[in-house]
A and B are shown apart, each in its own frame.
Chain A
């Protein structure tokens, strides 16, 4: 099954990027006839023919540069020795890559390189994995006649400021691969070459080191370095890996492919997989470096049980824990009824694991009380896109952005939260695409040294619908709509109804300016640009969904795309940027109280019958509880048992005190996680979770791409998560006998129409596959809705602007909105246990200097933030990124208590919490809040109860 487990070797490198051209050119290289697309370099043509040309500055992720001069070749009829990397092929060319003369030139160049290079190969960290070393070998360098007494750089100091890699300039050959990777791949431009001639050195800027520079630690430079100049510290400490396992990152919804490079069961390095279609060899600081949590000392590796949460834990066997859990659940059901228990599946777990959890709820619990964290992030996407387009998913693949001419980024911050996609987007912007940012904050894309938006619409939090309506109104008003598309592809009645709505004067930008806070002129400019600028694509995030009108906003986005014909081909579309690695998958797998897998209603008899037939169990036709209902029911006494897998609701869900009260009222809380998370502190059964490195399965990313997760090490707790669920289901009496996740995927495929053609064998062959993967589209579907919408005709939905109930008042004059930063991920359970905390050790409150001044708040002060719900204390950071009246924070640290202040308001359609709008007041205080003090005490006590655990 694990054909992607291989002996460690560097990934293949063809020297220059592949060219997408239809015209083929034939040429002869070393007597072999080669045919390649027009525009391909001679070097790449040679590699594709299996002919290796020595090279140092060329690598196929970067444009050719032509500096190292070891790839020179002879081309018949041409003077001199052109560099094969910078010379495009021509029809009929005759190329010689090896001759005595070429050998002499290459040796001459290598002799120069080595005359300025330390001679410590045997003790060098990349000994055996160094392109300089192997090239010296290839060209047969035997002597450095210049000696080593001349001018050199071999004594330069190392820059060890980064926790993840070391920059050893003494080994640098100035090939500029790192500089170019930072520019071309990552788009940060943190690196440059300083000095000229022999003094040319790679530099992060005047007198700066990596950590103090603009570097975002994506690792692209380290991956690009052909020598030991930029080397992962783990390689320096442990040596080069011996085998690798190809897998998928478990952080954000980009779903990057990685090679987990191993020594035995230990991950030495995570290297972005060049054939990973989501990332194409790129990575970010999280996926690339922040994997140390997987073996952190805080990992929980033993099952534990206790009767009440003030008791010490008892460490027990898996069997005992599962039997105990099953018994308690059944007792609760006997006492409080069949619907008194439920489960929350995890968007960090695999599709197969999520499938089992919802199946266990439906067949073992006998109800539909299954929900997932998508409830609190992208549930409005599922609802909104289903209503309008007919499918609860984004319409494009990530690569599509390369064909976009106008890009709208709304309520998303890709360079922080989806960095690898952010880099793709920035690349397209450098090529000249236009950008409209709709966000209350000045995110990086609005204006940074190497990226600038054409328009920034700093919408007042809560007024998204009004703004989108104003844009749509302008498109109609100014005659910019794509009438042909609407006529051919959309439902006429619904459109007419929508048209008469959108034309109402209150939807004009001049009218809505008052509540959106965006100048009508800018709205009109944005509308014109979006409607007439060529291929226009919308990318959005939680700034769209986490509102009381989240679903309405998603539908307004879909309306806009249909209105302008920007859907159904490359370069356009409606693209939700999903927060977690498998949030798309956990939704697809039916983690909803009202929907079975494939977004099919439980109330539909035909649908239910299909599953009943396959599972041999009668299913409940009545929808179950959503997460907030579970909490409410718990407090009112009707919901007493919960199985929560890989999700930290105590930290991530809004109104923390309400959540805590609900958890405290549970009679059996089963938490399965890799750490003792905030929720586990309220648990009665703790099941050790397995990290993504410890199991097989699949994740589905934001572009509907199903990629394999492959086991690189044995589960520290003894069971992969799917095995734990399997055990619990069996303990509950389910007659299940899965032996591996592949069997689970076979069941998924047999019961979920959009997954019908998905098999592990196919994923193995194609690398990944985008659903729908069916008979019609057996290799998957990169672009959806090409000829018709999934629902047939697209449906315009009237999107009336209803302001949120959360209003600013004299008591709560500021609006708090929340978001993320690059180095931390979600509740921080993983990233806080890595060196990523170097960059973000605590959550802070961003406040505009004017708001700070009027409250006597200075940089670094403790600030109390009070909402109608609660209060917490954070340090202040004065920032112009937020505008006056808006404050901003992140929620990566439990002690921050960001959700102590967020409210119970939620999306009208899906109950997605309104994290993005909370009316607050901020004031200077001298100490943490009462809740924070209690949290600290409780945390300490619970950790002690683990330490004091009795071995049963």
Chain B
């Protein structure tokens, strides 16, 4: 009897040794005459457990955590004997609390099998949503998405159904679906995980979106740093074409949808939707003024849905199980589940999909297990490099778009970066301005010049302490950038800076000698 073994091919898993584990496995299995099938799956996102090796057993899938190549001979022995007693054995994967305590809707298939295996995808419930959608009117599909309460997972949290309605209502011979897969926020990786682990879900989601608004062409704008995601997406797209799930008359319906992957060129700002559209059109990746909204005049001037990977992927579940089912999760105006990405100085980093409503502290303490350094948590930056730094005392905030905003933060794309008590928040504020200066497209003045001036002021503050004038100037600059910038890049850069100053004033203490100068 053949043994089926799963080792993730995901970029993070490979980074911690999954490739070497897989190679060693094949060598040793052959040597040991083990009859096997090795599946290079996606990752479940429990990075603390990677390289995670899983084996099908009679009871279900059994997992071994943090496997090294040297563990392999012993593990093969276990497999041959079907005895799963090993120090690294986690028991049944389905029963690992870190995973089973999550509510996996979008990431339910991630790690289950080979990413570009269409049959596997369909066996696990894939393409039910598209089949349902093809039986509905366009308006009915959009209504279902509205009913789900789904909001854009890229960070802006705009109601997806309303965006789609605009595109549906805008008459045009050609409409487009653009997937924003330019995941550039520091500490985030949910899009990548999904594209590497479950690419069909994105493809199906985009196809449903196309059917819903009457768009026949889709583009996935993928950041250049994601070569494996590109590979998986392209394989999956080929398979979908072969199966009649893309192209003319999908599943013999009257709907057609073509899809291509387009690679970015290494610019953070091209994750901003209008800069992305410019880049996709072959133009310089600078932000466009809105209006016109992309939903009305987007790619090549045509009505365009621009949604994040997770947003589009979520649509498959909404169409499979109904909008009401999805809306059943979550709280207040934040419906469904949110894939959080835990990173930075944290013990158990990875992807945690939970319904909205959990507390941030629970996520950091219980899933994250506190800091990796073992020192106390001092700060967490939520929502990427443009998100606020919250202090330890603020961590009881609920994961809910509005509650986060009320706490002076921003959920963004769901990235959580944890810092212990050795962090210097003035340096973090400097990092924010530096990041903006490096990544600004340069179109609008507050961002183009403001970020550089902000960096200079904070350089001075980091080197020789702040004067009162420095802080007044810094806060004025933050106001200017916040209120006058063309897009969220310049508009949100003040958020980490201001939160650092306000929530960690001790790191910006005006030194006595400076204070005198200021007077």
Contacts and interface: CB of A to CB of B under 8 A. Distances in A.
Interface of A: 64-69, 72, 80-81, 83, 85-88, 101, 104-105, 108-109, 111-113, 115-116, 145-146, 150-151, 173-174, 176, 192-193, 195-200
Contact of A67 (B438, B444, B469): B444
Contacts of A69: 444-446, 484-486
Which among B291, B442, B456 has the highest number of chain A CB atoms within 10 Å?
B442
14 contacts: A67-B444, A67-B445, A69-B444, A69-B485, A72-B483, A104-B479, A105-B480, A108-B477, A109-B480, A151-B452, A193-B284, A196-B442, A197-B439, A197-B452
Contacts of A174: 442, 448
Nearest to B284: A193
Contact of B449 (A65, A83, A105, A112): A112
Contacts of A81: 483-484
Contacts of B438: 197
B445 A146 contact: no
Contact of B289 (A86, A101, A104, A195): A86
The 10 A-B residue pairs with the shortest CB-CB distance in the complex, in nearest-first order: A66-B289, A200-B442, A108-B480, A197-B440, A86-B289, A112-B449, A69-B484, A150-B456, A197-B442, A198-B452
A138 B285 CA distance: 32
B267 interface: yes
A80 B486 contact: no
Interface in B459-506: 469, 473, 476-477, 479-480, 483-486
A185 B447 CA distance: 28
Given A66-B289, A88-B291, A199 B477 contact: no
Interface residues of B, number: 37
A112 B477 CA distance: 9
Given A108-B479, A112-B445, A198-B452, A83 B437 contact: no
Nearest to B482: A80
Interface of B: 267, 269, 284-286, 289-291, 437-453, 456-457, 469, 473, 476-477, 479-480, 483-486
A145 B473 contact: yes
Contact of A195 (B437, B442, B450): B442
Contact of A116 (B441, B442, B449): B449
Contacts of B291: 86-88
B441 A196 contact: yes
A80 B488 CA distance: 12
Contacts of A109: 445-446, 480, 484
A106 to B, nearest CB: 8
A315 B139 CA distance: 90
Contacts of B473: 145-146
A146 B457 contact: yes
Contact of B451 (A80, A86, A105, A198): A198
Given A109-B484, A198-B452, 6 more contacts: A83-B289, A85-B289, A87-B291, A105-B479, A151-B452, A176-B443
A526 B453 CA distance: 59
A193 to B, nearest CB: 7
Given A69-B444, A80-B483, A109-B446, A197 B451 contact: yes
Contact of A112 (B267, B290, B446, B457): B446
A192 B284 contact: yes
A55 B479 CA distance: 20
A585 to B, nearest CB: 42
A68 B445 contact: yes
Contacts of A173: 445
B444 A145 contact: no
Contact of A196 (B267, B476, B486): B267
B448 A200 contact: yes
B495 to A, nearest CB: 14
Contact of A105 (B469, B483, B486): B483
Contacts of A68: 444-445
Nearest to B473: A145
A205 to B, nearest CB: 13
Contacts of B477: 108
A69 B479 CA distance: 13
B289 A64 contact: yes
B449 A115 contact: yes
A115 B451 CA distance: 12
A197 B485 contact: no
B266 to A, nearest CB: 11
Contacts of A111: 480
A435 B380 CA distance: 60
Nearest to B453: A146
A145 B456 CA distance: 12
A113 B477 CA distance: 13
Contacts of A116: 449
Nearest to A88: B291
Nearest to A68: B445
Nearest to A69: B484
Nearest to A197: B440
B452 A108 contact: no
A289 B480 CA distance: 41
Nearest to A151: B452
B492 to A, nearest CB: 12
B452 A150 contact: yes
Given A67-B486, A105-B483, A198-B442, A150 B453 contact: yes
Nearest to A144: B453
B264 to A, nearest CB: 14
B437 to A, nearest CB: 6
Contacts of A200: 441-443, 448
Residue in A86, A87, A109, A113 with the greatest tally of chain B CB atoms within 10 Å = A109
A105 B491 CA distance: 13
Nearest to A176: B443
A80 to B, nearest CB: 7
B448 A197 contact: yes
Contacts of A85: 289
Contact of B437 (A66, A104, A146, A197): A197
Contact of A146 (B442, B456, B484): B456
Nearest to A147: B456
Given A146-B456, A150-B453, A198 B445 contact: no
B14 to A, nearest CB: 31
A104 B472 CA distance: 14
B484 A105 contact: yes
A84 B3 CA distance: 67
B435 to A, nearest CB: 11
B437 A198 contact: yes
Nearest to A194: B284
A192 B485 CA distance: 22
A598 B476 CA distance: 70
Contacts of B452: 150-151, 197-198
Contacts of B444: 66-69
A105 B446 CA distance: 10
Q: Which of B289, B447, B477 has the most CB of A within 10 A?
A: B289
A150 B458 CA distance: 12
Nearest to B469: A145
A198 B456 CA distance: 13
Contacts of B483: 72, 80-81, 101, 105
Contacts of B284: 192-193
A66 to B, nearest CB: 3
A88 B291 CA distance: 8
A447 to B, nearest CB: 18
A548 B483 CA distance: 69
B296 to A, nearest CB: 12
Nearest to A150: B456
Contacts of B453: 112, 115, 146, 150
Given A69-B484, A151-B452, A113 B440 contact: no
Contact of B442 (A64, A101, A193): A193
A67 B443 contact: yes
A295 B485 CA distance: 50
Contacts of B289: 64-66, 83, 85-86
Nearest to B476: A108
B456 A196 contact: no
